[in-house]
Chain A
Amino acid sequence: DAGITQSPRHKVTETGTPVTLRCHQTENHRYMYWYRQDPGHGLRLIHYSYGVKDTDKGEVSDGYSVSRSKTEDFLLTLESATSSQTSVYFCAISATGGNVGNTEAFFGQGTRLTVV
Chain B
Amino acid sequence: DAKTTQPPSMDCAEGRAANLPCNHSTISGNEYVYWYRQIHSQGPQYIIHGLKNNETNEMASLIITEDRKSSTLILPHATLRDTAVYYCIVRGGAAGNKLTFGGGTRVLVKP
Asked whether A102 lies within 8 Å of B41 as measured between CB atoms, the reply is: no
How many residues on the B side are at the interface (Cβ–Cβ under 8 A)?
Answer: 27
Within 8 A of A (CB), among B27-76: 30-32, 34, 41-46, 49, 51
A33 within 8 A of B: yes
Contact (Cβ within 8 A) B98 A33: yes
Q: A90-B43, A107-B45 are in contact. Are A102 and B92 (CB under 8 A)?
A: yes
**B48, closest chain A residue (CB):** A104
> Bound complex: CA of A109 vs CA of B42, how far in Å?
6
Cα-based distance from A109 to B103 in the complex (angstroms): 20
Q: Residue B99 contacts which of A33, A88, A110 (CB distance < 8 angstroms)? A: A33
* B21 interfacial contact with A, CB 8 Å: no
Note all chain A residues with C-beta closer than 8 A to B102: 42
- Chain A residues 36-59 with CB under 8 Å of chain B are 37, 41-45, 48, 50, 58-59
- Is the Cβ of B97 less than 8 Å from the Cβ of A88? no
Also in contact, A101 and B42, with CB within 8 A (given A42-B87, A42-B103): no
Could you say which residues of chain A place their CB within 8 Å of the CB of B44?
43, 90, 92, 107
Q: Are A45 and B92 in contact (CB under 8 A)?
A: no
Cβ contacts A to B, 23 pairs, < 8 Å: A37-B41, A41-B103, A42-B87, A42-B103, A43-B99, A48-B98, A50-B96, A50-B97, A92-B43, A92-B99, A94-B97, A96-B97, A99-B92, A100-B30, A100-B93, A101-B95, A101-B96, A102-B49, A104-B34, A104-B49, A105-B46, A107-B43, A109-B42
User: B-side interface residues toward A, CB under 8 Å?
Assistant: 30-32, 34, 41-46, 49, 51, 85, 87, 91-93, 95-104
